[in-house]
Amino acid sequence: GPLSERPLMDVRLGELHAWISTCSFSPQGLLGAVQRAWSGYCAKYIHVRRGGPAGISMLLAGSCVLSYGWNYQHLKQHRWRKYH
């Protein structure tokens, strides 16, 4: 099929620049990409017949990493130091 309709995992490394240039970076296009990614994640890990703890644990781990990243400057200032 056309390059713009291929998922990222099916794009070859030499075609990556052309594939990125076909993407829409408008707010509506970015919102659509986030919605497609979320629905793909839910279809693969959450809405399955025999699901395991992998989907929820990845979501929790991602939220922990994101929270730590947002609070890193605050946490860095309040570290215990031996020498001040």
Whether residue 53 is predicted with pLDDT greater than 70 in this model: the reply is yes
The stretch 23-27 carries a mean pLDDT of 89
Identify the band that residue 73 occupies on the pLDDT scale cut at 50, 70 and 90: confident
Q: Do 44 and 3 belong to one domain?
A: yes
Q: Do 21 and 35 belong to one domain?
A: yes
As for how many domains the chain has, the answer is 2
* Distances from the Cα of 25 to the Cα of 7, 30, 34, 35, 49, angstroms: 16, 6, 12, 14, 35
Whether residue 67 is predicted with pLDDT greater than 90 in this model: the reply is yes
Q: Do 27 and 2 belong to one domain?
A: yes
Q: Do 42 and 69 belong to one domain?
A: no
Query: Given this model, what pLDDT does residue 82 score?
Result: 62
Query: Given this model, what pLDDT does residue 81 score?
Result: 66
Q: Do 16 and 32 belong to one domain?
A: yes
Q: Do 72 and 37 belong to one domain?
A: no
How far apart, in Å, do the first and last CA atoms of the chain sit? 62
Provide the domain limits for residue 1: 1-51
**Distance separating alpha carbons of residues 19 and 23, to the nearest angstrom:** 7
